[in-house]
Structure 1
Amino acid sequence: MLHRHPLLSLVTLVYLAFVGWITLTPGHDAPTSSAFVQRVLDKLQSYDRLAWLTDTRAEFLANVALFAPVGLFLLLLVGTRYWWVAAAVAFAMTNAIELAQRAIPDRVPDERDIAANTLGAMVGIAVGVVLTLPATLRRERRTRLQSASASRLR
């Protein structure tokens, strides 16, 4: 799988390293705990239409957004036929992250993070299935035509 898609594999590994940096950095050094992030969130919350965007909801949405590319990359690596493998790997990965956070200072594992990360991965998988649907349909049509012409030759 990795040897057939070296560029996609490299991009996936780089993105997974980024996810590791975001999720496994000690809490006080985490990039998400910066004053800039808090200022942006405060500014967004100052708009009446975005008053619903609490810190908890923003974190949930950020986790969904962070894991959508994970689902997409995993789907592209394993193929749409095995979308469930991509989902299982993403779910296992998010559980591993939450378990690892128990040993990291100022990090708190949370079941909502597992839900948000898995939801994000499933969104990425769904986007990948939709984006690859035309190619999948072309391959299936080509296979049917080849099967039909092979059966006529017999």
Structure 2
Amino acid sequence: MLHRHPVLGLFTLAYLAFVGWITLGPQPFDDNPNGLLFRALGFFGRHEATDWITYTGLEFTANIGMFLPIGLFLVLLFGRRLWWLAMSLGFGLTVAIETAQIFLPTRVSDPRDVVANTCGAVLGVLVGLVLTARKARSIRLANRPAMAR
């Protein structure tokens, strides 16, 4: 896998290390109520048109966004035929992270993260399948016997 796509493989490993640092390291954001994040959420909460923007919704959406590249990179590394493996690994990775967070004093494990992260990985796989569909179709047509064309 890494020898076929060394740059993508290294980039994927670097991104997985980044995700590990974000999800298993000390709490990554400033939880100060006067910090930028909570001031912005307070601003949105004061306006009827944006009061639906909450910390919980923002965290859920961020988790989807963080795992989307994982699904994309894995399907590109493994190939279209192993799309199910990329999805499975996205799910397995998030279960492993949430399990590890149970034992970390500065982290909180949340089953909603499993849902959000898995949704992100699945979306990434789907994006990868869409991005590679034209090339896969061209390869299939080129490999058809002359009579079938």
Structure 1 unpaired stretches of 5+: none
2:146 to 132, 145, 148: 148
Deviations 1:40-72 (A, max 9, x none): 433444443321111111111110011000100
User: 1:13-28 alignment to 2 at 5 Å?
Assistant: 13-27=13-27
When residues 132 and 43 of structure 1 are mapped into structure 2, their CA distance, relative to the original with a 3 A threshold, is farther
Could you state the TM-score of these two structures normalised by the residue count of structure 1?
0.86
Partner of residue 68, structure 1: 68
When residues 113 and 6 of structure 1 are mapped into structure 2, their CA distance, relative to the original with a 3 A threshold, is same
Partner of residue 110, structure 1: 110
Structure 2 unpaired stretches of 5+: none
Question: Matches of 1:86 and 1:32 in 2, distance apart?
Answer: 33
Secondary structure, in 3 states, of the residue corresponding to 1:48? coil
Question: Matches of 1:129 and 1:3 in 2, distance apart?
Answer: 21
More helix by share: 1
- Matched length: 146
- Shift of residue 3, structure 1, vs aligned partner: 0.7
Indicate the RMSD between aligned Cα atoms, in angstroms. 1.8
Could you state the TM-score of these two structures normalised by the residue count of structure 2?
0.89
Partner of residue 120, structure 1: 120
When residues 68 and 45 of structure 1 are mapped into structure 2, their CA distance, relative to the original with a 3 A threshold, is farther
- Shift of residue 102, structure 1, vs aligned partner: 1.1
- Shift of residue 33, structure 1, vs aligned partner: 4.5
The aligned amino acid for 1:110 is D
The aligned amino acid for 2:146 is A
